């Protein structure tokens, strides 16, 4: 864990907090933000950055999900449940974002030695363990079969997944992203994704193996810790934890130079989604 600790120990952390922007903040904007920051951190015009974000009632699909045989029926089902549906620009599969889910992105410059994939994941795992270290629980990183968007760095307590980690790399920049289910029912979120896949597959053979979701494999931190732990609580813990690794936290938004880059990435996300989800709006 010492390597992940050293990556968290930055001379300065730039903080871009978008966790309280409300329902008008669209997930397409989020992925454009991370690509922008990943680029500027990668080319050295920005220091290491932590971005936090929350989206209301949004299902984020992965590229593989766009190949589902009955995608249209699945998306229509989600829209009837009042969920926005977008396709992200990275791997993985469908995840649920709502106001009880905190997302965190850590953006680093790849050093000469390089930050390998596992070290990126380990760093986020270490951060979350530090944030929650006053709770008497063991946080494991392993695949939770039956969860949505399963991966080898699912974070779980007592074999129930509460978070998933992904990574994206752009020209010397590394973005490690996590969603943390803070409140509400983890199994209800999982049941929604299960129903989406059932409608979008309808028993057909698919070239890609989609997860068979078992809702009981997922829970929120509030459920697992036996007390309400809100997105705001997690934000406070996140900032306090980062403060232990750095002499300086600098609140920030996009710089004047980053705005055109952001607009470019946002347009790419919009175009990608228009192509991937050729469905009635």
Residue spans per domain, the chain: 2-276
Residue 181 falls in the annotated catalytic set: no
Neighbours of 205 (CB within 10 A): 6
Write down the residue that tokens 């952001």 correspond to.
262
Q: What is the predicted pLDDT for the residue at 111?
A: 78
- 263 — pLDDT class (breaks 50, 70, 90): very high
Q: What is the predicted pLDDT for the residue at 115?
A: 81
Is 154 or 280 the better-scoring residue by pLDDT?
A: 154
What integer is the mean pLDDT of 39-63? 97
- 113 — pLDDT class (breaks 50, 70, 90): low
- 6 — pLDDT class (breaks 50, 70, 90): confident
Choosing from 16, 149, 157, 200, the catalytic residue is 149
Q: What is the rounded average pLDDT for all residues in the chain?
A: 94
281 pLDDT higher than 60: no
HSE toward the beta carbon, residue 155, CA cutoff 13 A: 27
Alpha helices in the chain, H assignment, sequence order: 2-8, 27-42, 71-80, 117-131, 186-201, 221-225, 231-243, 258-276
- Identify the three-state secondary structure at position 108: strand
Q: What is the predicted pLDDT for the residue at 280?
A: 43
- 279 — pLDDT class (breaks 50, 70, 90): low
Neighbours of 92 (CB within 10 A): 21
Q: Report residue 267 as tokens.
A: 């347009």
92 pLDDT higher than 90: no
What CATH class has 2-276? alpha beta
pTM metric for this prediction: 0.95
> Considering Cα of 231, then 236, then 237, then 242, what sign does the dihedral take?
positive
């Amino acid at each position: 864990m010492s390597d992940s600790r050293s990556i968290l120990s930055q001379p300065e952390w730039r903080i871009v907090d978008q966790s309280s922007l409300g329902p008008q903040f669209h997930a397409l904007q989020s992925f454009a933000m991370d690509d922008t920051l990943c680029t500027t951190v990668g080319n050295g015009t920005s220091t290491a950055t932590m971005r936090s974000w929350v989206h209301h009632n949004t299902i984020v699909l992965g590229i593989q999900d766009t190949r589902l045989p009955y995608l249209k029926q699945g998306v229509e089902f989600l829209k009837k449940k009042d969920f926005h549906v977008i396709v992200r620009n990275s791997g993985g599969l469908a995840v649920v974002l709502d106001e009880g889910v905190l997302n965190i992105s850590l953006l680093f410059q790849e050093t000469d030695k390089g930050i390998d994939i596992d070290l990126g994941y380990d760093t986020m795992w270490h951060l979350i363990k530090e944030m929650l270290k006053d709770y008497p629980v063991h946080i494991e990183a392993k695949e939770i079969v039956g969860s949505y968007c399963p991966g080898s760095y699912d974070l779980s307590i007592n074999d129930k997944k509460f978070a998933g980690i992904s990574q994206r790399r752009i020209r010397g920049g590394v973005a490690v992203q996590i969603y943390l289910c803070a409140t509400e029912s983890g199994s209800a979120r999982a049941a929604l994704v299960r129903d989406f896949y059932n409608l979008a597959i309808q028993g057909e053979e698919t070239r890609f193996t989609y997860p068979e979701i078992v809702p009981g494999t997922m829970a929120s931190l509030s459920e697992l810790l036996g007390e309400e732990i809100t997105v705001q609580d997690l934000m406070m813990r996140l900032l306090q934890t980062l403060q232990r690794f750095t002499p300086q936290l600098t609140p920030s938004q996009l710089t004047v130079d980053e705005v055109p880059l952001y607009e470019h990435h946002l347009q790419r996300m919009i175009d990608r989604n228009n192509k991937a989800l050729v469905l009635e709006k």
